Structure 1
Amino acid sequence: MDSLDSTLDSMQNNRFAALYNSMIRELTNTTHLSQTEVTSLLMVYYKFVMNNGRAAKMMTKKQFYQIFLVLFNLNDMRAADRTLLHITKHVKYVDPAGWIQLFTLFTTGDLTMRMKFAFAVYNTKGTGLIDREMISVAVERFFIGEDEDEVMELRADMCELIIKKFDVDKDGFISFDDYVTVVSQQPCLLEFLGRLFPSVDDQNVLAHCTNIDSLISY
């Protein structure tokens, strides 16, 4: 165990083992990640926790935001907040299981899992339906410029285009079934209301940094 991470001393390595060994086995059995990948990700998590002091046991949400915005290159704070709600119930912290769940979502090839996550993030009211107001708020960041009238027109046009495309049953809302119908046929529309997943390039960097071997393209 002393050699698990050469940047840590033996006491720190032993504490990691005591805290996470049983969790590593459980998460390896319940996710698509290998034992090495889960261990590496939890080691990264552990190092963030150590920065919070000897008594700390979890990553802070402030640390998560920094990772989300910098390492993942995802710059939508509303998406970060919704992602946090999806992976953890803690108010101020991100627990280790939530940390692994995040990477499970980001690295899975299971389109259904990705659709469930994306729809939950986009459905900001938690109603199970995406309405015109949610779409309007989301498309605000798609268009910016000095000509306010032109920007407003572009946003309105985009909103109408999205509703026309995704409201399969024409009831004025986008349900999960509507979303699945469209995205199953056109997976490129998975993130139709804004980026939620790291790009391929960002995933490659992430994979090398955290030893997620299954993501690395040799």
Structure 2
Amino acid sequence: MSSKRQEQAKIIEKLSKRKDKARGCHFKKHEIEKLLTMYDKHLEGSLNVKKLDRLRFRDILHDMFGMTDDMLLDRVFRAFDRDNDNYINEDEWVMGLSVFLNGQLEEKVRYCFNVYDLNQDGFISREEMYQLLKHCLVKQPTDEDPEEGIKDMVEMCLKKMDLDHDSRLSYSDYAKSVEMEPLLLEAFGRCLPEPDKCHCFMNLISDEYTKY
């Protein structure tokens, strides 16, 4: 067995043993193997690059999941990049996709909150909500100021989700709000795959008798 295959086998074995319901790996061994093969294919043609960089990762999100918002693409990258080295290694790739595609609600809540917490201070502020929501409204041919519409949306979100009334969302505010109303999970922009995109991706890796 080549050193690469040995290394991959160790990663598969390690990840497949992570069975914790909230923070475990939600893929089977053959699915992890497919994901690692996919990871390597995305590095083909790269000189001396052994990890996924931001641009390649954004291309994957765009091509496979139809995600296009630049700010959210960057934040999803940050959520996957757990060691903050500006690359996604094989472990981060598999564990990130585990939440992205198959995560328990608690995992998805934590993931989405981390995406929306732009400055990573543990809160989603008014300013962050404004930045996240400003691309959501389609500009209408009216005299109404679109910025006022965004500000109104921010205030509506705070009224609905700011449970401790401190004019910002803590993780507790956000998690309790989503528990009461699951549709609020992606209140500030889509950062999880659409069900059909998720289904198509899982079909790529779920059949252990087909090659990617």
The match for 1:24 is 12
- Answering whether residue 36 of structure 2 is matched by residue 48 of structure 1, we say no
Q: CA deviation at 1:92?
A: 4.7
Contact 2:43 2:52 in 1 (8 A): yes
Alpha-carbon distance in 1 for matches of 2:37, 2:136? 37
**Residue of structure 1 aligned with 2:157, choices 148, 155, 162:** 162
Q: 1:36 to 1:120 in 2, by over 3 A?
A: same
Question: What value does the CA root-mean-square deviation take over the aligned residues?
Answer: 1.9
The count of residues paired between Structure 1 and Structure 2 equals 199
Alpha-carbon distance in 2 for matches of 1:169, 1:148? 36
Alpha-carbon distance in 2 for matches of 1:181, 1:58? 36
- Answering whether residue 92 of structure 2 is matched by residue 98 of structure 1, we say yes
Runs (5+) with no aligned partner, structure 2: 19-24, 208-212
Contact 1:108 1:114 in 2 (8 A): no
Q: Which has the higher helix share?
A: 1
Q: Which has the higher contact order (CA 8 A, sep 6+)?
A: 2
The match for 2:116 is 122
Contact 2:80 2:96 in 1 (8 A): yes
- Answering whether residue 55 of structure 2 is matched by residue 65 of structure 1, we say no
Q: CA deviation at 1:150?
A: 3.5
Q: CA deviation at 1:59?
A: 2.3
Q: Percent identity?
A: 25
- TM-score, with structure 2 as normaliser: 0.86
Q: CA deviation at 1:187?
A: 1.1
Q: 1:91 to 1:200 in 2, by over 3 A?
A: same
Matches within 5 A, 1:162-181: 162-181=157-176
Contact 2:26 2:103 in 1 (8 A): no
CA distances 1:163-206 after superposition (whole Å, capped 9, x unpaired): 10110111111111111111011111101100010010001111
Superposition misfits of 4+ residues, deviation over 4 angstroms: none
Q: 1:69 to 1:147 in 2, by over 3 A?
A: farther
